[in-house]
């Protein structure tokens, strides 16, 4: 088995080190976060850091990189307090990846890709029309991470849209049916395949599969 200590990792060539470390945490969620400035210029960017924070109230979070360079998403969040999270599926991975390009803040990534703005429920920022799962959030807080100058953005879910046949009888969303993809590192996209679902684990009880029982469309 290969071994690197902290000093050897720090001595690696920059891009090599970035690729290595970014793949260490395993597969990550793949989402497009969309915002809109007070001047009504839209921004959409790919994020692999969206995480579940709680169900009551329904909260999610994501990491914003340091603002030592222009961060259109952060500027828009500060001024509007609203954003959308849109699942990336396999048919839009090229356009989704292109949103990572560093465009000027006056240029919308929607105009540089085939992604489409979609407005619903009078929500200020756009949803990504092509996404099969769309989440509208209000920013309720953020935390500065002094160790690397990043920010953890906290959003409360106010609107949720998902296509038919994705949700199962117990409320669970089958992301395989949504064709949601995962990200490995910075630039590798992978399809997902359900292996199994298990009943709630209890002490001294055998773990049992619930896949056949639960994997039925809710409508």
Paired tokens of 219: 């409508």
The alpha-carbon radius of gyration of the chain (Å, integer) is 19
pLDDT digits (tens, 9 = 90+) for 73-119: 889 999 999 999 999 999 999 999 999 998 888 899 999 999 999 99
CATH number for 22-214 (one of 2.30.110.10, 1.10.579.10, 3.30.479.10, 3.40.50.720): it is: 2.30.110.10
Query: What is the spatial distance between Cα 182 and Cα 62, in angstroms, rounded to a whole number?
Result: 15
Angle at 91 between CA 87 and CA 93, to 5 degrees: 65
Query: What is the spatial distance between Cα 69 and Cα 78, in angstroms, rounded to a whole number?
Result: 16
The arithmetic mean of pLDDT across residues 14-24, rounded, is 94
Domain layout of the chain by residue ranges: 22-214
How much is the pLDDT for 27?
Answer: 95
How much is the pLDDT for 171?
Answer: 92
Query: What is the spatial distance between Cα 25 and Cα 112, in angstroms, rounded to a whole number?
Result: 31
The pTM for the full model equals 0.91
How many other CB atoms are there within 10 angstroms of residue 28's CB atom? 17
DSSP 3-state of 207: coil
pLDDT-derived band at 162 (thresholds 50, 70, 90) equals very high
pLDDT digits (tens, 9 = 90+) for 36-70: 999 999 999 999 999 999 999 999 999 999 877 67
Which CA distances in Å does 210 have to 34, 81, 160, 192, 200? 36, 40, 26, 19, 10
């Amino acid at each position: 088995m290969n071994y690197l200590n902290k000093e050897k990792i720090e001595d690696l060539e920059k891009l090599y080190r970035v690729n290595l470390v970014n793949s260490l945490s395993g597969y990550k969620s793949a989402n497009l976060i969309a915002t809109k400035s007070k001047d009504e210029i839209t921004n959409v960017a790919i994020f692999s850091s969206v995480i579940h924070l709680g169900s009551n109230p329904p909260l999610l979070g994501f990491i914003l990189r340091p603002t030592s360079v222009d961060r259109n998403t952060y500027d828009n969040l500060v001024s509007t307090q609203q954003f959308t999270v849109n699942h990336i599926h396999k048919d839009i991975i090229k356009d989704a990846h292109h949103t990572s390009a560093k465009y000027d803040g006056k240029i919308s990534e929607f105009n540089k890709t085939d992604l489409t703005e979609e407005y619903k429920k009078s929500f200020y920022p756009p949803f990504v029309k092509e996404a099969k799962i769309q989440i509208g959030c209000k920013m309720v807080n953020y935390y500065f991470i002094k160790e690397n100058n990043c920010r953890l953005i906290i959003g409360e879910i106010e609107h949720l849209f998902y296509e038919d046949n994705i949700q199962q009888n117990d409320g669970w969303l089958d992301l395989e049916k949504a064709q949601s993809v995962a990200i490995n590192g910075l630039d590798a996209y992978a399809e997902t395949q359900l292996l199994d679902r298990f009943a709630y684990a209890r002490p001294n009880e055998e773990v049992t599969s619930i896949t056949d029982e639960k994997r039925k469309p809710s409508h």
